Structure 1
């Protein structure tokens, strides 16, 4: 089937990247966004206390050079970590720079999506306040608005609890919990953010963590952004057991997980992570107390799995969201997240090799969302155009099941968790966007060095190939300077830490280890 018109549902980071990619490849995108403006989750309503809190307090977990799109860097004066408002401005400028707004219809909600069995086109019903509904037909669909169904697990006795029960998505203000005892359930980023913020007003905050968690601060070795050190290609070449050991040692240099009660029962890559700079001091100050999993609720609190009890006034579930593809028939994509089957987390195998529906961002990423969504969109549009081919449905389903079995073996559950570096490289290879590193080694060794030992920044995927960006090379090489420029606002005299020394030190250590491993393999 020849694809020309493409429906894009959602104008967040994934939707914006999808519109731009369609335009690059000569397709005709139409985007429907149910909110009054672009920005997705970062579009906050100041009239709501909940969104006011997020605007004031939330800071990105990933650093700016790892967070942006591949051909549109953040402003040079932007700090290494960004507020939600700064991210929203960035998306708005992205839309303006590439003239995306004419293709976006805000306050428009897609209420129905079906595929015509005769011509395989997609029939869409769109509702707009004050206007009513209107029908459209498209050749292909990109769903960029999924994974937002809040999840609250069921516990015995929960319905009898007389206190307040809510989800972190609905957490509004710590003024609502003045001098109250609060129980936060969860072990990931939002659990940490809510617990730390709530502890400023609550009389006591407890955190119920089922298996433990690994807390990572935003700043890593020698004060550099932690994600920039972790997400380097050189780190993923040694065996996983070594990388786990190295990351674990790095974490323990900053936080003693044993004495704080945080240590996970699972290995570091099979467990939850929490990016939080204040959790350690809140626990040490007694404002937050870590507790085991909940066994059941009582009318006034909970009984924990160790037999102890807690009396609390408010329970906040920071238990994440269900992965879901809204509007899509369950014969194509299953509702149950434990049976969610997408080839490379993008294409439903049930639509076959010529699938004209894809999901962008329905994945849990250890890393940043926007550059991953952008690569998914670039691959998807190239498939729509026939420039890339999908395997047979049988091969796609086999790959899905192998991935699920690996997740079950490592994590004990299917959570669709991927590392940003490994997943990006895999999608880029499928899309024909992966630069030839060995070629760079001979033609541009400086760039090859930074590509292997430096942060795996998204600009790497614009070095060559379709729609390359002339500024990609300078952006890859200059990413360390981009981190320091906005923070070095006072001129210092005397000796200072050499950025080059720190960078070379870690590179030499990893190079020696890599050389030893390769020598053992080949000799």
Structure 2
């Protein structure tokens, strides 16, 4: 090549690079200008201050995660909230109570999902917070919300709601609600004063834990003379004097796993009852687990389009394979697929004492079932003699209930049959009189903070008349389609009837109803600078504050700060510097990510050719899930409002039903 030719090509190359840089800068300028032109409120406090009074009052029952968010959502719409709290402080179930009569988390509880998912999109946690959040840190965060948004004056503490009913049952719109309450002495729980008030709307924010734990009606339990508690009343081993004792933990959900591994450190003998086996991840400490892998909204959305059993097989044969081998050896081999149960983990807060390790050491013994209780022990399935037991902890889940609500409006009595939730969008009662001014928040298994925020935002819009619910028949059809789609996937258990809140599709649907879904079209039109924030960072509540109704300008910066601290910041617990997600860092990360997306894309194309649904709604998977369930050996709960099959069997053997609540019917 001649020297002048080389110079010509070099000039063209430099010009090309300069042109590309100029073009890139022009795109950035256009994106920035368009984003700036659509600016809204910077913070939620600005939105609250500017809200036009709606001349409506809403009674909010409970001041936990849901109740605190409900107050903020109402204030942002100009609605006056009045919060009734039966306890002496905020926090609900997440405020640890050392007294044995108080329902709460146990002392060592940490949230089993990362920090960024466990805070409100309108007021995210500080990037300086650890990724694994303890119950104490969560409680302080909730109190900080009350400080920041001046919520304390809205809350009536030690005030128990005893009845909620509609003022005029014949009316078909603009309903008013009678709320009866009792002011309680915080020490003696004696009634000091009673009253009733009229409200334009009611939000029941007692959540899925608000009525205490559910204990299956095991034969002979009423004759058992030794102490027992539900996990909602378990505190810590020393509190219950478990050192050197024989302790039985019933249930192998996340609480059961945490408790049995904690108890095994000091008990003389620890027995775990797990009738079905289980799939359980053995993980590193949460500070490492949550910062090592980046699963963004885009990839998550692709995975959710796969048939569930395909996604389940991918997890079973990769991340679960090694840890599951240990469990299977000790009697925990499941008869169901991984995605037919909750995904369970062991080791997030104490990786030195996982269920897998304690089984290997012989500190925990697994039993498959209970034939009956005796006065001082348990006859386990397949055994002739009773095993003496000193203490029993039932980690057997919860039953959604709100016994103070008039059952003629919606039956949420604790002792109703089954655990189905007859609510449209899992919020509104499906009644012929369209009681759209009564809402239930977090009455399903959910991403609790995200669920509280989107459900209460949607309720506030409906109450103001800005959104209209469809006819009652349409509501019923949708609820049954969603419910049956999920029940055709999950095995038949009381606690697996309300799984909609564990999938991104549910929240995207709520966001579309509200008008805040971060679609590519909306982002290009309103906020093109936030495309990366919405789709290529981990799924989190902040993404529903980027565009549309309720948009907040500080959401972009908050996502960037949380992302930076999660993958590249300094761990506040260990002081170690994070070096980025392993599946995104460097050449190896690029290959790993490209391979994963290519594999998922190939599988999607294959199943699309075979007729699988690629829709965005949960119920789009109904037919394919039903087809799979028809040939599945796992039982499924396909009858709405019925007990789970195992509960039906137990009820046939005994008429006893253990529970921790008193039903208050209007």
Q: TM-score, normalised by structure 1?
A: 0.90
Determine which of 255, 264, 274 is the counterpart of 1:199: 264
Task: Choose 456-465 or 94-103, whichever is displaced more.
Answer: 94-103
Task: Choose 509-518 or 86-95, whichever is displaced more.
Answer: 509-518
- Aligned-pair distance for 1:222? 7.6
Q: Tell me the residue number matched to 1:140.
A: 201
Distance 1:65 1:238, change over 3 A: same
Determine which of 138, 158, 165 is the counterpart of 1:114: 165
Q: 2: CA distance between counterparts of 1:98 and 1:225? A: 31
Q: 2: CA distance between counterparts of 1:408 and 1:323? A: 17
- Aligned-pair distance for 1:4? 1.3
Q: Tell me the residue number matched to 1:250.
A: 319
Task: Choose 179-188 or 310-319, whichever is displaced more.
Answer: 310-319
Q: Tell me the residue number matched to 1:381.
A: 460
> Quick check: 1:306 aligned with 2:374?
no
Paired positions, count: 519
- Aligned-pair distance for 1:138? 0.2
Question: CA-to-partner distance for each residue in 1:27-84, whole Å, 9 max, x for gaps?
Answer: 11111111112111122345669899934x2222111011110121212221110111
> Quick check: 1:283 aligned with 2:385?
no
Report the secondary structure of 2:556's partner residue: helix
Report the secondary structure of 1:134's partner residue: strand
Q: 2: CA distance between counterparts of 1:494 and 1:33? A: 44
Q: 2: CA distance between counterparts of 1:490 and 1:81? A: 14
- Aligned-pair distance for 1:137? 0.5
Unaligned runs of 5+ in 1: none
What is the correspondence of 1:17-32 to structure 2 with a 5 Å cutoff?
17-32=69-84
Contact 1:184–1:318 (8 Å) recurs in 2? yes
Report the secondary structure of 2:138's partner residue: helix
Report the secondary structure of 1:295's partner residue: strand
Q: Tell me the residue number matched to 1:509.
A: 595
Task: Choose 14-23 or 230-239, whichever is displaced more.
Answer: 230-239
Q: Tell me the residue number matched to 2:585.
A: 500
Q: 2: CA distance between counterparts of 1:65 and 1:170? A: 28
Q: Tell me the residue number matched to 2:46.
A: none
Question: CA-to-partner distance for each residue in 1:397-435, whole Å, 9 max, x for gaps?
Answer: 122222333343222245201324222112212222212
Q: 1: CA distance between counterparts of 2:313 and 2:514? A: 33
Q: 2: CA distance between counterparts of 1:13 and 1:351? A: 30
Report the secondary structure of 1:364's partner residue: coil
Q: 1: CA distance between counterparts of 2:121 and 2:581? A: 32
Contact 2:296–2:535 (8 Å) recurs in 1? no
Contact 1:143–1:358 (8 Å) recurs in 2? yes
Q: Tell me the residue number matched to 2:335.
A: 265
Distance 1:295 1:505, change over 3 A: farther
- Aligned-pair distance for 1:160? 2.8
- Aligned-pair distance for 1:451? 3.3
Q: Tell me the residue number matched to 2:237.
A: 174
Q: 1: CA distance between counterparts of 2:92 and 2:591? A: 40
Distance 1:370 1:492, change over 3 A: closer
Contact 2:57–2:80 (8 Å) recurs in 1? yes
- Aligned-pair distance for 1:115? 0.8
Q: Tell me the residue number matched to 1:481.
A: 564
Q: Tell me the residue number matched to 2:309.
A: 241
Determine which of 497, 502, 513 is the counterpart of 1:415: 497
- Aligned-pair distance for 1:326? 3.1
Task: Choose 310-319 or 499-508, whichever is displaced more.
Answer: 499-508
Q: Tell me the residue number matched to 1:43.
A: 95
Distance 1:493 1:178, change over 3 A: closer
Q: 2: CA distance between counterparts of 1:9 and 1:396? A: 25
- Aligned-pair distance for 1:196? 1.5
Distance 1:380 1:160, change over 3 A: same
Q: 2: CA distance between counterparts of 1:495 and 1:44? A: 34
Contact 2:100–2:234 (8 Å) recurs in 1? no
Q: Tell me the residue number matched to 1:129.
A: 184
What is the correspondence of 1:140-159 to structure 2 with a 5 Å cutoff?
140-147=201-208, 148-159=211-222
Q: 2: CA distance between counterparts of 1:226 and 1:498? A: 8
Task: Choose 11-20 or 420-429, whichever is displaced more.
Answer: 420-429
Question: CA-to-partner distance for each residue in 1:429-452, whole Å, 9 max, x for gaps?
Answer: 222221222454798777434533
Q: Select the structure of larger CA radius of gyration.
A: 2
Report the secondary structure of 1:316's partner residue: strand
Task: Choose 318-327 or 415-424, whichever is displaced more.
Answer: 415-424
Question: CA-to-partner distance for each residue in 1:93-139, whole Å, 9 max, x for gaps?
Answer: 11211222221111111112121116631111221136501221001
Q: TM-score, normalised by structure 2?
A: 0.71
Distance 1:460 1:350, change over 3 A: same
Distance 1:494 1:376, change over 3 A: closer
Q: 2: CA distance between counterparts of 1:262 and 1:405? A: 28
Report the secondary structure of 1:322's partner residue: coil
Q: 2: CA distance between counterparts of 1:227 and 1:333? A: 43
Q: 2: CA distance between counterparts of 1:511 and 1:442? A: 27
Q: 2: CA distance between counterparts of 1:358 and 1:52? A: 24
Distance 1:381 1:442, change over 3 A: closer
Determine which of 461, 469, 478 is the counterpart of 2:544: 461
Distance 1:372 1:216, change over 3 A: farther
Question: CA-to-partner distance for each residue in 1:208-236, whole Å, 9 max, x for gaps?
Answer: 11212222356489843599649733432
Report the secondary structure of 2:215's partner residue: coil
Contact 1:218–1:226 (8 Å) recurs in 2? no
Contact 2:183–2:194 (8 Å) recurs in 1? yes
Distance 1:506 1:28, change over 3 A: farther
Contact 1:53–1:172 (8 Å) recurs in 2? yes
Q: 1: CA distance between counterparts of 2:243 and 2:120? A: 41
Contact 2:160–2:184 (8 Å) recurs in 1? no
Unaligned runs of 5+ in 2: 1-53, 186-191, 348-353, 611-666
Q: Tell me the residue number matched to 1:160.
A: 223
Report the secondary structure of 1:476's partner residue: helix
Q: Tell me the residue number matched to 2:16.
A: none
